[in-house]
Structure 1
Amino acid sequence: MSSAGEGLSRPLPEQVRLNVVDLASQVLGTMPAASVPPPLRGIAKFDPRKRAKLGSAPIAAQLENDKKFRELVAESVAAGWPELVASLAEGNVPPAADPVLVAAAAYLTRPPGWEEMIETARADLERSAVAAEGSEREEVVARLREQLATQKSAAKEEADRLREQIRAARAENSDLRRKLHDARERAKGAVRRAEEMEQAAEEARHAATAAGSAGESELRRLRERLADVEKQLEASRRAAREGRSIEDARVRVLLDALQDASAGLRRELALPTTISRPADSVAAVTGERPGVRGVPARALADDDPQLLDQLLALPQVHLIIDGYNVTKTGYGTLTLADQRNRLMTGLGGLVAQTRVEVTVVFDGAELNAPVQVTAPRGVRVLFSAPGEIADDLIRQLVRAEPPGRAMAVVSSDREVAESVRRMGARPVPSGLLLRRLGRA
């Protein structure tokens, strides 16, 4: 705005000018296109948010020079703030009114004494600015004092920390000096002991030299004795070889007699041939009918990878496997049928490698329909009968074996492991069998 016009000696305060321009831009957006002043027609097409910002200077100039446009904006102000405009028209400025609104309304409506009203508002704004600046300065001073106090406190803490470090360094230095003194004393003692040992070594060399001649004669005598002993040892070996051939012949004759006697005893006792193994005598079901629901086992861990290999190396060992305990430990996400098939496949390879007797026991309570299990050669598959759990069937298999036979029961069920251990079998965690099958 180039001048105040009509008695206004200075430009409007910036806050008042922005308020006046904003009011005029709002009115400009509501005017018909034909009524818009020609200098402002391009600005009237702007977005309402950009109109006051981009067209500030043209709008202010039009208000200053176009009385009709200014009066149109004044009507909008009178409609929006009727009490304020009425008070200004009477020459009264509301004591609680915003100086910016008072100056903007006075500039647009031009009541009597409007120039003084604008100057009064200008003075109020300047006082407010000075007060705000003073308040801001006080806040800055307060913040600086607070920062200074914080820095003083931090400096004091740092000084205390440095003093503590100095005390610790002094104590450490004193300790190092004491250790250095002790080390020097130990070094002096070591030098004295080294001198004593060197003297003792010199005396030992003299003694060794003196004993050398006697030692040579003793060595010749010992060599002669050694030659005699070697001759006696060779004679003893010849005699042992002759005696061994006679003993081997005797043992072979006794073994042949024992084999013939066992065959004759089998014929005399007329032992049945339909049961080839004790485990074949244990009553169980083959999976052709379902049972009732059972109780899931609890898995236990074991980290001894050599246990199962050592047990499989025993002669005539019987490996009894808690089927579902193994499969649910290793691949429990598969269906029961897929679990059984995968276990059978792995056990087929194990039997082919080790030639051990293997019996797999499944809980018949897990079955809801008849099942078909294709067991590989050398693997016996049993299901517990209705009302019986696989744990009880495993214990029956262990009890059926003769005392002294090597048995290994694969199950991570704590109760099964403890019971079969008391019965003479060696429990093996399921994880070891799974690891052995994976290695095969």
Structure 2
Amino acid sequence: MAQTQGGEPGDGAAEVLDRPLPDGVRRRVVGIVSDGFGGLTVAELPTQLRQYARFTPTRRAKFAGNAMAAAVEADPLFRQRIAEKLREAQPELTGALDAGSPPPAADPLDVAAAAYVLRPAGWVKLVTAAGEEAQRADAERAGEESRAELERLRAELAAARGQVRTETERLRGELETAKKESESLHRKLRAALSDVKRGEAALRKARAEREAERAEAQVRLSAAESESRRLKARLGESEAALEASRKAAREGRSVEDMRIRLLLDTVLEASQGLRRELALPPVSVRPAETVDAVEPGRMTPKDIANRALSEDDPAIVDQLLALPQAHLVVDGYNVTKTGYPQMPLEKQRLRLLGQLAQLAAQTGAETTCVFDGAELAAPVLLAPPRGVRVLFSKPGVTADELIRRLVRAEPPGRPVIVVSTDREVADGVARAGARPVASAVLLKRFSRG
């Protein structure tokens, strides 16, 4: 039937397609050939297609598409056989094409592919129209895709511009920060370089000073070594001279001792003879008696009973009073106010004088007790005990000053013991050569008896 139609006058067998088969139509043609391929025997297949006889339609369309399209175009008999299979598979579509009125609702690509295989009259127009329709559809689809792509690209462009602006602002901020950091680093670098230069200058100066000090120390060391050698030489000379002196002294000591002893005996005998010749009386006036002061009045015997003793006394008082020609000077009120301040002044004086009299009798030392009389309206009636000199300072003169006068009146070298806790008095008499003793020490000595 295909051959008959293909050979009849006025059919489309003589029509020729003047352009390449559109891709969409070609794919549909390959599909039709692949579907009808299985209904043919191997002998009915063209030689170049027989190797694909056992392939599935899908696999056959994939691997033998070009060969099947070429066979349909070049082999009319094979095309007629495929057309018969197509009429069997799609009788309505093929019938409409044979009648020259393709169905309006059919896919133009299916219509063009069927017309290409069947080759009815006007099949070229159908294929061309289908190709153009496919191109328009492709163009519209491409346009839609292009518009969608354009919109997408525009959106991406806007987003990219926003990102670029954001990134630009961020980069500008980072650039400003980097510039500030760079300026700060430059300043720090300049400061560091200045510090390094100053440090290098200070180091050079220190090195120069150290070298100068080292040189000076070397000079001093050399001088010290020279001086040490000189001193060692002088020391050797001195030792030699000392040894010579010792030797000479050992040789002449006996003679000198004899001469000194002879001279001493001569002086002693001369002084004794002079004393006998002049008949000198014993010393009756003491230096303390030459000091201008007010002597107290005489006390009655009944006042002596008021004397009392106190606590133990350290041995230093006895040691000091045991010195030859010792003179004990007592700051009266200072001692009494230290030992028994609660008693009236009169009883304080009597008690102290009694204790001093006992001490004077025991030690035989010259004893002077000084009381402050600057504020007295009249002389105090008081009988000084045996062995104790009692003095009151004149108006306007303190007892401290009177004590200092007594110390200054003594000849240098005589042991003078001053009893007072007044630091000013103690320091003053110490500078004058006297020995200060605290009042508490004397009170402890009184208590020992």
Asked whether the two chains share a fold, i.e. TM above 0.5, the reply is no
TM-score by length of 2: 0.38
- Please say which structure displays the higher CA radius of gyration: 2
